[in-house]
Structure 1
Amino acid sequence: MDKLDVVLLMSVNPGFGGQKFIPGTLAKARQARARLDAYEQQTGRRIRLEIDGGVNTANIAEIARAGVDAFVAGSAVYGAGKDSDPHRYDSIIGALRGELGKV
């Protein structure tokens, strides 16, 4: 693990956007976080755990509680942006951050 900076878990089947989060990824995230934390205890070096796919305001807090510390929320952000909203993406990003603040 000395060559890693980030571990990326895919939480959808790769290929196209807008898919639903695969709940079984949470168990994988917990397992990965446990291994990464053990490595950090031994070496003092933290490796980030990132998740990509199906992340939204309804599940980002649960994902964070599983030990994930970086999130890809493409469809949640770009699908929520409305041309009539002058803040477009800031609104949904703020909502995602708000949910993370509850963890």
Structure 2
Amino acid sequence: MDECLLLDAGSGGRASQRLVSQCFLRHFANPLLERLDDAAELRPAAAPLAMSTDSYTVSPLFFPGGSIGTLAVHGTVNDVAMLGARPHWLSCAFILE
């Protein structure tokens, strides 16, 4: 693991994978986390129940084809749907520098 945490660790790419595998999995190892899903499956539930929160840092806030808000909502809905759950509510995440 690198000595310092860089901003690209939140990019969803290789740096994110490295952070999760070298830091979080080692300390919080369990079968559900080791699946590395983008959403958490909450059990027990009669129907598939999942939770996900996406957050982004994009500049500018509005860009051709969308905005930071639509990007966050669509990403979260997709993560939940990939576990077979239906989105009913949205959570809110803030990135404060």
- TM-score normalised by structure 2 residue count: 0.35
Structure that is richer in strand per residue: 1
Structure with higher helix content? 1
Name which structure has the greater RCO, CA cutoff 8 Å, separation 6+: 1
